[in-house]
Amino acid sequence: MSSRGTSYAALKATATLESWEGLATQARQTKAGEQVLKSWEDRVEGLIPHTDAKVRYFGKDRSKPRVKIYRDQAAWCPYCQKVWLLLEEKQVDYEVEKVPMRSYGDKPREFMALVPRGLLPAMEIDGKVMTESLDIMFTIEGAFPDPDKPMFPASGPLRDRAAKLLSLERQLFGAWCSYLFRPEMPLIGGSERDFTSALQAVDSELAKNTESPFFLPYQHPTIVDMQYVSHVERAVASAMYYKGYDVRKKFAHIDEWLSAYEKLPHYMATKSDYYTHCMDIPPQYGPCFSNDNAEAVRAREDIDPQSAKLPAQWQTSVEPPTPEQLERSEEDYRIEAAMRLTENQQAVTRFCCCAAGGDVGSWARGNPTKCELADPYARPNDDYAAGVNVVLRSIATALLKGDPSPVLSIKASVEKEAKMSGRDLEVIADCICYLRDRVGSPRDLSMPAAKILRAHLAEAVRQRKGYIINGSPPQQEPANRARRPKWRLCFRLDRQTVSAKESLEHLAPKYQHDFFLTVVDPPATGSFRESPPAPFFASRVACHVADLVASRPMIAQLAGRSFEGKALASIGAECMAAGLCAAMLGAKIAFVCERSLEPHVQHNVRLFRRDTLDYTKTKTNVLAVAPCSPGRCGHLEAEVLSEKLQAPSLDMVVLTEVSFARVVGDFGGLVGNRRGEVCRVSGAGDFPRAFSRGEPL
């Protein structure tokens, strides 16, 4: 049942949810639920591969394995994946000790005492410890030889070919890194052409083997295949997400090779989905440079969970499921996702509440080599647990029933059962976002189940917040009964403009993380249940100007490379969001606006002061509103505005050509572009004449 056109009272009446115990019983009694429980039991006993398995057995012997592997916690490390695949292919019993990668958490002292450099993977075999994935793989092959199933040719031309292929893999890895982690500069490398050339060479080598889909003429993958597959898997995902480049569509033999791998259950137990890879790659390798071509934009919209909607789209051409995944029904995946909630609801609730708790984001703050999504130091705020738990129960109900109605009536359910409303709803929505963006595959769920769960979480957030903006101008979202349309703005600093070293040396830690603002428009005329009105303070131009103000190039040009203590004038409706953005970064703001808009600007200022979280720890409440008649703000002198801000002078003015002409007067020729421009004020005097023209952004 859709919430569109449905009265709030009707929604509230339908907000009756079953208990967690009842939901868990329903899930366990289904055939899919029985299979999930069986897989969990087998995982504990070491009978199937999984990221959570602590031991793996292939025969009847249950004695302590000779091999102990130290690998990353979430199955994100490509080098750990190579070793894992070899152990599975050779069916060598092994123990697992999970250790965080440097990007995701602190390594235990015990591990650092064993491996002083902290490298992963590490292997302990017969009491000896070693690192380096390729060395580990050859050691395993030597310790557990199988003449009928060689993992690397012993001698002759085939061994020479295998060595040549290992060298080619390094060339492909280098081309991928240049393509993804550098701006495209064909004269010095990093171009799509170099990446394509390397892929063509790999595709040609695969074509030479007519006896199997793998690199060497064996019916099983070898060390050569394992050396390739972990990084090719990541290259496929990242090239699609950041560049709109479809590796599998362009190279038939690579696609055939990957398809052969995807038929192996132990490979699928290690394989991440595109979203997981595109979030875990930057902390390990560095910031990625994206394209804005149509294919790349479409890919990001398809992959990012913020864009997910119900019904969940898990069968897409961007990231197609395997034939084996298509053999299972969507109901199986919904139940798989539901059981991750019903069997772990208390732990999941507390995890969500980390978004509202202490030290959230402190792990990665100021260090781009650490993953923002890891957040190992975050502490939950249990004040919001009741509301979060109701949301999760609504989602679990929708997953089990295959009916989105419980998600579409979430607001009513929270108000009825948790007795929470108003500002609490926004915080609870942040908590659900926290979970939505951290659902990983294969760590948490299979790819289809992960996509289905993310879509339900995204819809829950959408129902809570009304209209949500994630780094782009607002789009129409489901109806909101509030008379004032609200827009959620997410500011994501541009990591592509400077290197990691430069960002650490020149930018303060607070300028390296996302932050959020709520912008409230003037009251809409009449009801807008069916669709929201066009954004006003959060228009496309306003979002663009705000993004420019929050960009690293802008911050890097400021004195002291910081907004803190700066006095800034924001002129017109198109620049109000930019002013709030600068206030979050520490600037004192004077909002210059038409008199008719004064109460609405004041409303946003009050909201910012009272309800907006201090994401950057530099948020300022030194805000002033300076109304004027249309086209007549010329009488406002720089001293007047700076006095309102208790500052000796204005440091900057933010305006667009439209706001300049409408608010300041007929001086449109002074600002020569429509995208927005930031100008410095040179001193006191008549306001429109007091600043020197800045450089267009």
- Contact (CB, 8 A) for 310 and 456: yes
User: What phi, psi does 363 have (nearest 5°)?
Assistant: -60, -50
Taking alpha carbons only, the member of 576, 578, 592 closest to residue 626 is 592
**Would the pLDDT of 145 be above 90?**
yes
Q: Are the C-beta atoms of residues 538 and 471 closer than 8 Å to each other?
A: no
* Whether pLDDT at 269 is above 60: yes
Residues of the chain with CATH 1.10.490.20: 8-28+331-465
Q: What is the token pair recorded at 74?
A: 């979430």
The residues near 222 (Cβ < 8 Å, ≥ 6 apart) are 150, 151, 152, 162, 214, 215, 216
pLDDT the model gives residue 663: 59
| CA angle, residues 484, 487, 493, in degrees to nearest 5 | 155
**Backbone dihedral angles phi then psi of residue 92, each to the nearest 5 degrees:** -100, 125
Helix axes 423-436, 447-465, angle to 10 degrees: 160
| Fold topology of 49-152 | Glutaredoxin (3.40.30)
> CA 598, CA 624: separation in Å to the nearest integer?
11
Q: Are strands 55-56 and 94-98 parallel, antiparallel or unpaired?
A: antiparallel
Burial (CB count within 10 angstroms: exposed 0-12, middle 13-18, buried 19+), residue 610: exposed
CA angle 521/388/355 to nearest 5° reads 70
Q: Quick count: other Cβ atoms within 10 Å of Cβ 228? A: 28
Tokens for 4, please give them. Answer: 């569109």
* SS3 assignment, position 517: strand
CB 465 within 8 A of CB 258: no
CA atoms within 13 A on the CB side of 627: 10
Question: Could you tell me which of 303, 313, 354 has the C-alpha nearest to residue 333?
Answer: 313
Q: Is the pLDDT of residue 303 over 50?
A: yes
* pLDDT score for 205: 97
The chain-wide mean pLDDT, for the chain, equals 82
pTM: 0.68
Are 536 and 11 spatial neighbours (Cβ–Cβ below 8 Å)? no
Report residue 316 as tokens: 């897409």
CA 633, 638, 644, 645 dihedral sign is positive
Where do the CATH 3.40.30.10 domains begin and end in the chain? 49-152
Say yes or no to pLDDT of 167 above 50.
Answer: yes
418-444 burial, b at 16+ Cβ within 10 Å, e below that, comes to: bebeeebbbbbbbbbbbbbbbbbbbbb
How far, in Å, CA of 9 to CA of 25, rounded? 31
pLDDT value at 506 more than 50: no
Q: Give 593-619 pLDDT, tens digit per residue.
A: 888 888 899 889 988 887 777 777 788
**Overall size of the chain counted in residues:** 697
The answer to whether the beta carbons of residues 302 and 470 sit under 8 Å apart is no
Percent of the chain with pLDDT over 90: 53
Could you give the CA distance from residue 563 to residue 491 in angstroms, rounded to a whole number?
A: 15
Q: What is the mean pLDDT of residues 51-67?
A: 95
Q: Rounded to whole angstroms, how far apart are CA atoms 107 and 100?
A: 6
Long-range contacts of 131-140 (CB under 8 A, 24+ apart): 133/79, 133/80, 133/82, 133/83, 134/82, 134/223, 134/227, 136/83, 137/82, 137/83, 137/86, 137/223, 137/226, 138/223, 140/67, 140/83, 140/86, 140/87, 140/90, 140/92
Do the beta carbons of residue 389 and residue 345 sit within 8 Å?
yes
Q: In the β-sheet with 55-56, what is the strand arrangement from edge to edge? A: 55-56, 94-98, 67-71, 122-125, 128-131
Percent of the chain with pLDDT over 70: 81
More confident residue, 233 or 526: 233
Cα gap 428→346, rounded to integer Å: 15
**pLDDT (average), residues 236-260:** 97
Using CA atoms, how far apart are residues 371 and 219, in angstroms rounded to an integer?
Answer: 39
Express each pLDDT in 306-343 by its tens digit.
889 899 999 988 999 999 999 999 999 999 999 999 99
Residue 427 and residue 613: Cα distance in Å, rounded?
Answer: 10
- pLDDT confidence of residue 677: 34
Give the whole-angstrom CA distance, residue 588 versus residue 581: 11
The more confidently predicted of residues 513 and 376 is 376
pLDDT at residue 632 above 60? no
Helix, strand, coil percent values for the chain (each to nearest 5): 50, 10, 40
pLDDT, position 339: 97
Alpha-carbon distance 507 to 492, whole Å?
15
* pLDDT for the residue 15: 46
The confidence band for 455, taking pLDDT boundaries of 50, 70 and 90, is very high
Residue 122 falls in which region: left (phi positive, over 0), alpha (psi -120 to 50) or beta:
beta
Q: HSE of 693 in the Cβ direction (CA atoms, 13 Å)? A: 13
Torsional sign, CA 228, 229, 232, 238: negative
CB-based contact 320:273 (threshold 8 Å) = no
**CATH number, domain 8-28+331-465:** 1.10.490.20
End-to-end CA distance of the chain: 46
Identify the weakest region by mean pLDDT among 212-226, 365-379, 525-539. Answer: 525-539
pLDDT in tens, 95-117: 999 999 988 999 999 999 999 99
Say if residue 145 is preceded by a cis peptide, omega within 30 of 0.
no
Is the four-CA dihedral 344, 435, 390, 27 of positive or negative sign? negative
- Measured in whole angstroms, the distance separating CA 358 from the mean position of its chain's CA atoms is 21
